[in-house]
């Protein structure tokens, strides 16, 4: 029986390894675990795969990073970290979690409901309410660890998850501080178009089309999912892409950040909820808990961060990273201001 179990486990490990290699993604063994991240495991942390439910009963999958020298008889500050919109925990969120763990924090990077390794059907749904709830579910999990001080929990959002982190903090008083990086407000851009250029007539036309798509989805028994990034990493950017999509292709579709579970787009009718669910409407309610806004000097998404900063009450701080584009704050550890993040959360979660 023991031999059979060992062979089965070995076969599964080999299958996972081959799947990742064929997908063009980094995969190598770390002890008895296949490391499938887009970054290397630090020798300064302990990594654990964890799972826990949100209040909808959906099981979330997360990577928990602990300081290597952690003394579990003591209590530590903790961070829950969300992915860029369409990303997975094996990419940028994991880099943030691992780096903050190196600096003394307990940190989790999680996959949103319906995506990555988290539960929920149908797959690749996007929900502003549930994605915000997923941050609170992370607080549930962290605050029940015996080595985490539940009064010292913060949140970091990257790209689209920045707005979800802020939305969660508007009502969840347990989130004591929030940092955003390369923020996107998905409810704003879906409702109003890029730089608020959508007319009322264009919005109505979009919603009529989404309503028609719901009937199609109902008859098909499954929601329509737009084509995503390639399952195998590419080595070039298609010439027909505009500058913004070219930037996302560089990260999600090329070796820099490609991961086979990072599809990119969400089901088409997911957009209906964002039109009807503003994410920044009560941002002032985060006060007096502090917010740190981080954006790249050359980020195409600057206006989301700049406007959210103006809307927020204090205490608040805006950090502009010289020369950084939007995607550079996903993974460029030489550009991401981790010293500032450490200082911010050390003071905010004292």
How many domains does the chain fold into?
Answer: 1
What is the arithmetic mean of pLDDT over 236-248?
96
- Whether residue 9 lies inside any domain: the answer is no
Query: Which residues, in sequence order, are bridge partners of residue 66?
Result: 46
**Range with the poorest average pLDDT among 8-22, 155-169, 241-255:** 8-22
In this predicted structure, the answer to whether residue 278 has a pLDDT above a threshold of 60 is yes
In this predicted structure, the answer to whether residue 21 has a pLDDT above a threshold of 80 is no
Q: Which domain holds residue 335?
A: 37-348
Q: Average model confidence (pLDDT) for the chain?
A: 93
Q: Which of 66, 303, 326 has its CA nearest to residue 194?
A: 303
What is the arithmetic mean of pLDDT over 194-205?
98
- Whether residue 181 lies inside any domain: the answer is yes
Q: Is the pTM of this model over 0.75?
A: yes
Q: Can you give the pLDDT at residue 32? A: 54
Q: Which of 165, 199, 204, 203 has its CA nearest to residue 184?
A: 165
CATH of the domain at 264: 3.40.50.1820
- Whether residue 264 lies inside any domain: the answer is yes
Per residue in 74-101, pLDDT (tens digit) is 999 999 999 999 999 999 999 999 999 9
- Whether residue 25 lies inside any domain: the answer is no
Per-residue pLDDT band for 178 (boundaries 50, 70, 90) equals very high
Per residue in 280-316, pLDDT (tens digit) is 999 999 999 999 999 999 999 999 999 999 999 999 9
Per residue in 100-128, pLDDT (tens digit) is 999 999 999 999 999 999 999 999 999 99
Per-residue pLDDT band for 138 (boundaries 50, 70, 90) equals very high
Alpha-carbon distance 126 to 325, whole Å? 25
Q: Can you give the pLDDT at residue 69? A: 97
Per-residue pLDDT band for 29 (boundaries 50, 70, 90) equals low
The share of the chain scoring above pLDDT 70, in percent, equals 91
Q: Can you give the pLDDT at residue 34? A: 86
Q: Can you give the pLDDT at residue 27? A: 56
- Whether residue 302 lies inside any domain: the answer is yes
28-30 and 33-35 strand pairing: antiparallel
Beta carbons within 8 Å of 115's beta carbon, 6+ residues apart: 88, 123, 124, 125, 261, 263
**Range with the poorest average pLDDT among 4-8, 201-205, 210-214:** 4-8
φ, ψ for residue 13, nearest 5 deg: -60, -45
- Whether residue 29 lies inside any domain: the answer is no
What is the arithmetic mean of pLDDT over 132-154?
98
Identify which has the larger pLDDT, 30 or 68.
68
């Amino acid at each position: 029986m023991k031999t059979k179990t060992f062979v089965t486990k070995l076969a599964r490990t080999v299958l996972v390894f081959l799947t990742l290699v064929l997908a063009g993604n980094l995969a190598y063994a770390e002890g008895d675990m296949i490391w499938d991240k887009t970054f290397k495991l630090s020798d300064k942390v302990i990594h654990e795969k964890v799972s826990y439910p949100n209040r909808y009963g959906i099981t979330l999958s997360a990577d928990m990073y602990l300081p290597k020298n952690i003394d579990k008889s003591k209590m530590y500050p903790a961070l829950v970290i969300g992915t860029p919109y369409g990303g997975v925990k094996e990419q940028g969120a994991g880099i943030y979690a691992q780096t903050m763990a190196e600096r003394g924090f307990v940190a989790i990077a999680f996959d949103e409901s319906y995506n990555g390794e988290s539960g929920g059907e149908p797959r690749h749904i996007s929900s502003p309410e549930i994605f915000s709830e997923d941050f609170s579910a992370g607080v549930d999990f962290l605050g029940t660890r015996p080595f985490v001080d539940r009064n010292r929990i913060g949140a970091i959002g990257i790209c689209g998850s920045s707005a979800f982190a802020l939305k969660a903090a508007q009502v969840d008083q347990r989130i004591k501080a929030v940092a955003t990086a390369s923020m996107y407000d998905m409810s704003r851009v879906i409702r109003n178009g890029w730089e608020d250029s959508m007319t009322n007539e264009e919005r109505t036309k979009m919603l009529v089309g989404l309503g028609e798509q719901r009937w199609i989805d109902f008859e098909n028994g499954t929601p329509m999912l737009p084509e995503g990034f390639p399952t195998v990493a590419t080595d070039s950017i298609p010439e027909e892409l505009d500058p913004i999509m070219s930037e996302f292709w560089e990260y999600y579709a090329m070796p820099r950040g490609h991961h086979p579970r990072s599809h990119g787009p969400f089901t088409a009718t997911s957009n209906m909820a964002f039109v009807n669910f503003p994410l920044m409407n009560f941002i002032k309610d985060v006060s007096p808990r502090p917010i740190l806004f981080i954006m790249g000097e050359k980020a195409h998404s600057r206006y989301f961060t700049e406007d959210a900063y103006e809307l927020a009450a204090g205490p608040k701080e805006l950090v502009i990273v010289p020369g950084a584009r939007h995607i550079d704050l996903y993974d460029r550890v030489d550009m991401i201001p981790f010293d500032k993040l450490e200082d911010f959360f050390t003071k905010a979660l004292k």
